[in-house]
Amino acid sequence: MDQWFGFEIPHLIDAAIPGFIPTQTPLAHKAGPSPAEKQFRFTMLKPHQFLLTKKACPVKRLIATICLLISFSSAFAAPPASSHEISERQAWIEQQLPSLVKTYQWLHTHPEVSFQEQETAKYIADQWQKSGFEVTTGVGGNGIVGIIENGPGPTVMLRCDLDALPVMEQTQLPYASDVKIELPGGATTGVMHACGHDIHMTNLVATARYLAEHRDQWSGTLMVIGQPAEERGAGAKAMLTDGLFKRFPKPDFALALHVSGDKPTGAVGVLPGYALANVDSVDIRMKGRGGHGSAPHTTIDPIVQAAQLVMALQTIVSREVKPIEPAVVTVGSIHGGTKHNIIGNECELQLTVRSYSEAVRQQVLSAIQRKAKAVAMSFDAPPPEINISEGTPSLRNDDDLTARLKQVFESTLGTDKVSVDEPSMGGEDFSRYGREGIPILMYRLGSVHQSRLDRFKALGVPAPSLHSSQYYPDVEPTLTTGVLTMTGAALDLLKKPSP
């Protein structure tokens, strides 16, 4: 390697142009220019400019330019975390694992459904306070916010979600949840962290603790939040409405992870751009005129209307939406009638609608309304009642932030442990923070040991998915990878400025 203007330059030009030697700085003096140097030489004028002699051919100019740009990009790029720094963090995590497993098991055995996360929020707030965060509770309901200001620099927000699901656990784990609640209709159900939020919370307890204990490694403002009601798609909106980015610093970056039930422990996945979908719910009531089943000519049958509408809806995605634009219209529920020989007055349908872009979202919702009204009109029936409930907006990971942190994850875990995931038509209200103009990234965390995945494959059955009563993570390796990657990402984003 040559030293030139204080930077290391590869011998690319030497190999490409026989006899070429770049002009040297005092780091490597020469007595005088050689004939080759006289024929082709360049001299620094300004930080981003250099001068080539008129005798230089275009190819030589191009190669010299590339080498200079490579030298500057190498000189000013932030170096990745060293293997020593990663090993130190891994040793800290291993030391903390016994207490983190206890934290995880407490959270797993004390699940609370959306909007009822009081004890969960109190527990997490207490953990963050013990780590030295200034904690505010009751943000957007049961939301919590922890802040540490640690000198100049960006504000980075790390998010976890607090709520569990109304699912009866069937994992047979020694710490399986036996919590039960009564649903609004009077039925009783179990409550379970079937979507990994207990891992998310434990991970952020550990990440917050590490960063609080190692403030000498970063500079800026760290903001950790525990968000309620993610499973209802309402928690992020509630916190934002309650002034999340007005009462507290608005982040420069926001980061979250989500466990994956089909990705092995030790691995993570990222995806730039659209990763999760717009989620909308549509309720349609087709109206008719009831009567006896033996005299359908005297009625307007709402069930036949509904049946025709179900088939008409299938053509929206297949014949109206541009083929390269993802969209889903699913009729998940249809209810009408009371008895074999009675034609009722109404039939109700419930739809879930998924899309990525706002234009496609509006196109599909408009088409659903148009087709429902057209079916009713074709039967000379009263107009249908149509109610659209907007759920979560699509989640779009920031391209630059994703590329930056993908490199961090690769240097931490190895390139073979970091994949580029496929987009999903699922939904996540972490997307709302991105809609506030903040670069966001949600990445996937492997949570099932490879040996378990291999066993499911050998049995010819898929691994239990998230929201399954039989899903559970392999806790220690999942937390190890989660804390390693999230602390690494935070340290990179909060990197101290060079002296």
Helices 118-130 and 197-213, axial angle in degrees (round to 10): 20
Taking alpha carbons only, the member of 143, 145, 148 closest to residue 131 is 148
Task: Give the confidence band of 242 by pLDDT, cuts at 50, 70, 90.
Answer: very high
Percentage of residues in the chain having pLDDT higher than 70: 84
Residue 406: closest CA among 396, 418, 397: 418
Residue range 86-98, pLDDT digits in tens: 999 999 999 999 9
pLDDT of residue 497: 81
Q: Please provide the DSSP assignment of 251-301 as one string.
A: PSEEEEEEEEEEEETT-EEE-SEEEE-EEEEEEEEEE-B-EETT-GGGSB-
How confident is the prediction for the chain on average, in pLDDT? 88
Say if CB 429 and CB 233 are below 8 A apart. yes
Residue 65: the pLDDT is 53
Token pair for 162: 């607090």
Residues 320-370 pLDDT 10s: 999 999 999 999 999 999 999 999 999 999 999 999 999 999 999 999 999
Percent helix, strand, coil in the chain, to 5, is 40, 25, 35
Report the candidate in 452, 481, 444, 487 with the shortest Cα–Cα distance to residue 196: 444
Residue with tokens 């505010």: 136
Cα end-to-end span (Å), the chain: 26
pLDDT at 62: 54
pLDDT digits (tens, 9 = 90+) for 268-301: 999 999 999 999 999 999 999 999 999 999 999 9
Q: Where are the domains of the chain?
A: 2-76, 84-276+394-493, 278-390
3-class secondary structure, 250: coil
149 — phi, psi (to 5°)?
-100, 125
84-276+394-493 and 278-390: identical CATH topology: no
pLDDT confidence bin for 498, thresholds 50/70/90: confident
CATH 3.40.630.10 fits 84-276+394-493, yes or no: yes
Does 488 score more than 80 pLDDT? yes
Residue 491: per-residue pLDDT: 98
The average pLDDT across 454-458 equals 97
Provide the angle, in degrees to the nearest 10, between the axes of the packed helices 83-109 and 197-213. 130
Q: Which residues are catalytic?
A: 163, 230
pLDDT of residue 45: 39
* Average pLDDT over every residue of 151-168: 98
Could you identify the residue written with the tokens 């009204």?
Answer: 373
The CA distance from 42 to 22, in Å, is: 7
Instruction: Identify the pLDDT of residue 391.
Output: 85
Dihedral angle sign, alpha carbons of residues 191, 195, 201, 206: positive
CATH class name, domain 278-390: alpha beta
Structural contact between residues 259 and 454, judged by C-beta atoms closer than 8 angstroms: no
